[in-house]
Amino acid sequence: MVKLARIGIDTSKSVFQLHGVDDGERPVLRKQLRRRQFLVFFAQLEPTLVGLEACGASHHWGRELQKLGHQVVLIPPQHVKTAYVGRNKNDKIDAEAICEVMKRDKVQERFVPIKSVEQSAVQMLLGVRESLIKRRTQLTNSIRSHAAEFGLVAAKGLDKIPPLLARIATDDSLPALTKEMFAGMGQEYAELGPRIATIDKQMLAFHRSNEVTRRLMEVPAIGPIAACLLVTKIVDPHAFRSGRRCAAWLGLTPTDHSSAGRQRQGGITRAGDEHLRAVLVSGAMACIRHAKNRPSNSSSWLGELLKRKPPKVAAVALANKTARIAWKIMTSGERYDPNRGRAPKGLAA
């Protein structure tokens, strides 16, 4: 077989389309494989550079190909679609585009590191936790809305749901069918609490065993959930050349619409991982509430920012700063220093 310089792979659940080129950039491999044939085929090849679009399953296939001696890179899908896939789209075109984009220096800076099995496991744990909390929120909203149709209301808070369900169960004016429906929702609600509590214990156990998450927890705006998300979502912090690039990857930097020498910046890009970005902003909002209640204990930077900007705008700015601090902690091995960057007392600001 002709020596391959690199191979681009368009993956799916059961069909894999391959496109390979030699050192002269000539296409020498166009092949479609079934799932059971995939690893068998690559086991017969000499080690080469292999590229896949980054997705959930690509981390698994990346680990398996690495075991066979291949060098594997994961490419963000938007960099393949935007510049290299034309008007028509099919598996062959996608595989060729992946193979083409692998050699571009600009895209090589944005390759996605492959997660380890342990990182994938923790990411799954946090994902299941998020889905259970969303389901609990949906369920409580459904219980409240249906109860309101019968004139039964309750104050806000999860602890108000069991008393509301108890009132419904003892209300003789409600139809039997209604009580049965509420009883079913109440049973599901009661099951969600212990499941979430179990996952929280597993998450805290991982947090205590991980030295990086313990250092990240020293940052005021970072809690255990944010710390665990940072180490699982940011697989290789050294892939970012600066903290600003890390914050930009998370979508916490403003969009740029500059032209003809005139700078115009809009809202944040909202790129990157939505869950991690939301948790960082939530942590920032907690810090802002604390700063309002105890101004003497908050940083002067945050205090001055709150004088000029609304709380939600300040929260995004603080989340941006927190992401940069987290990147520095993860790349340098240092601990968080709350006094770093502050002017010494007695000196003019």
Residues 242, 196, single domain; the answer is: no
Mark which of 154, 175, 209 sits at the end of a domain.
209
- For 59-68, how does the pLDDT look when each residue is reduced to its tens digit (9 = 90+)? 999 999 999 9
Residues 251 and 320 in one domain: yes
Q: Which of 193, 209, 225 is at the close of a domain?
A: 209
Could you tell me if 246 and 188 lie in one domain?
A: no
**Same domain for 79 and 25:** yes
The answer to whether residue 343 is domain-embedded is no
In three-state secondary structure terms, 286 is helix
Do residues 17 and 102 share a domain?
A: yes
Residue 339 lies in a domain: no
Residue 60: CATH number of its domain: 3.30.420.140
Last residue within a domain, chosen from 78, 108, 138? 108
Range of the domain at 249: 213-332
186 and 231 part of one domain: no
Task: State residue 82's pLDDT score.
Answer: 59
Decide if 345 is inside a domain. Answer: no
Look over the chain and give the mean of its residue pLDDT values, rounded to a whole number.
90
**pLDDT of amino acid 349:** 36
Look at residue 222 in the predicted model and tell me its pLDDT: 96
Residue 348: its pLDDT value, please?
Answer: 41
133-175: pLDDT as tens digits? 999 999 999 999 999 999 999 999 999 999 999 999 999 999 9
pLDDT at 83: 56
Does any domain span residue 86?
yes
281 in the same domain as 310: yes
The number of beta carbons lying within 10 Å of the beta carbon of residue 330 is 22
User: What is the Cα–Cα distance from 324 to 247, expressed in whole angstroms?
Assistant: 6
**60 or 90, higher pLDDT:** 60
Asked if pLDDT for residue 187 goes beyond 90, the answer is yes
Helices (H), 173-310: 176-209, 211-216, 224-233, 243-249, 274-293, 300-308
Whether residue 100 is found in the same domain as residue 128: no
Q: Between these two residues, 332 and 343, which has the higher pLDDT value? A: 332
| 1, part of any domain | no
| Residues 198, 138 within the same domain | yes
Q: How far apart are CA 23 and CA 3, in angstroms?
A: 8
Residue 344 has pLDDT above 60, yes or no: no
Residue 349, in any domain of the structure:
no
pLDDT over threshold 50, residue 276: yes
Structure tokens at 113: 């590191």
pLDDT confidence of residue 341: 59
AA identity, residue 181: M
Q: Is residue 11 part of a domain?
A: yes
Give pLDDT, residue 86. 65
Angle value at C-alpha 159, between 158 and 160, nearest 5 degrees: 90
Mean pLDDT of 327-334: 96
Q: Among 247, 282, 235, 272, which Cα is nearest to 133's?
A: 282
Are 296 and 219 contained in the same domain?
Answer: yes
Residues 162 and 256 occupy one common structural domain: no
Number of domains into which the chain is organized? 3
Percent of the chain clearing pLDDT 90 (strictly above): 72
Q: What is the pLDDT of residue 346?
A: 46
Closest CA to 320 of 256, 258, 264, 249: 249
Does 230 reside within a domain?
yes
- Between these two residues, 207 and 272, which has the higher pLDDT value? 207
Same domain? 195 vs 256: no
